[in-house]
Amino acid sequence: MKVSAIQCRIGDLNSAERRSIEAIERGAELLVYPEYFSYPVFSLEIGEKTIEFLQRISKEYNVITSGNIVSSGDKITNRSFIFDSGDILGYQDKVHPTRNERALGIVPGERLNVFSVRRAKLCVLVCADILYPELCRIAGLKGAEVALNPVVSFKYSELPGESLRYCLYFARSFDNCYAIVKAGGFGKTFAGSDAVGRSMIVSFDGVLAKSKGEEIEEAVIADVDLSRIREYRKINYSLSERNVEAYWELLEKNL
């Protein structure tokens, strides 16, 4: 399966469409957009236009698209949708909203979903969800083969190991037997912070593709070998030979 992380300018759907067409012309059938890629400001009205964009690209080009909106149904969530040929296949609510998101009223999702799309099983780890190894393991246990990871990557961060952060993605893939498509946008977030792309596609074999620059439009593309993922799943005994009795402490909130 040829997949693409669409690295576009935040709040610019024309930028997103240009890179979408580039990815499709290069053979991509799965397009992943950055977290809040259509949000120059925080507004619930942007969600409708975003859904229309994702659905139109998916239908017009017969591809799979995934992008997120601020959903304001019975509760406010950071919700990532998956479309296939224009049809909504499902959505994933961000399980771990950030402190700033919670201040805006965004509530956590309750569970991680896995979707059967064409010949693959997909899940969505929304931005910070990738930082929680327990949730990433659940995705592997549920059979996910490709994890979509729409992100906002801040240009300036207090987190250590800046040059080694890609190792986190390799580790998640190695442990859980799936490829990861990380899509980041660049520019100003709706909160006024500087964001950079850092888009990449990773598997347990290493980094398959990454952006050439942090602040340029780009369609990052790679071939994901689903058969190789399935073969690796057979030999990665950490998925099947777990001593689950030792994990009860994880359920203690204040461990």
How many CA atoms are closer than 13 Å to the CA of 66, on its beta-carbon side? 34
Q: What residue ranges define each of the domains in the chain, with the CATH number in brackets? A: 2-241 (3.60.110.10)
Please give the mean pLDDT across all residues of the chain. Answer: 96
Task: Answer whether residue 204 shows pLDDT above 90.
Answer: yes
Give CA–CA dist 24/72, Å, rounded.
31
Give CA–CA dist 42/104, Å, rounded.
9
Q: Which pTM does this prediction carry? A: 0.96
Average pLDDT over residues 19-39: 98
Give CA–CA dist 198/221, Å, rounded.
13
Task: Answer whether residue 59 shows pLDDT above 90.
Answer: yes
Q: How confident is the model at residue 51 (pLDDT cuts 50, 70, 90)?
A: very high
Task: Answer whether residue 74 shows pLDDT above 90.
Answer: no
pLDDT at 195: 96
pLDDT at 161: 85
pLDDT at 103: 94
Q: How confident is the model at residue 254 (pLDDT cuts 50, 70, 90)?
A: confident
Task: Answer whether residue 253 shows pLDDT above 90.
Answer: no
- Rounded to 10 degrees, the C-alpha dihedral 124/127/131/137 comes to 0
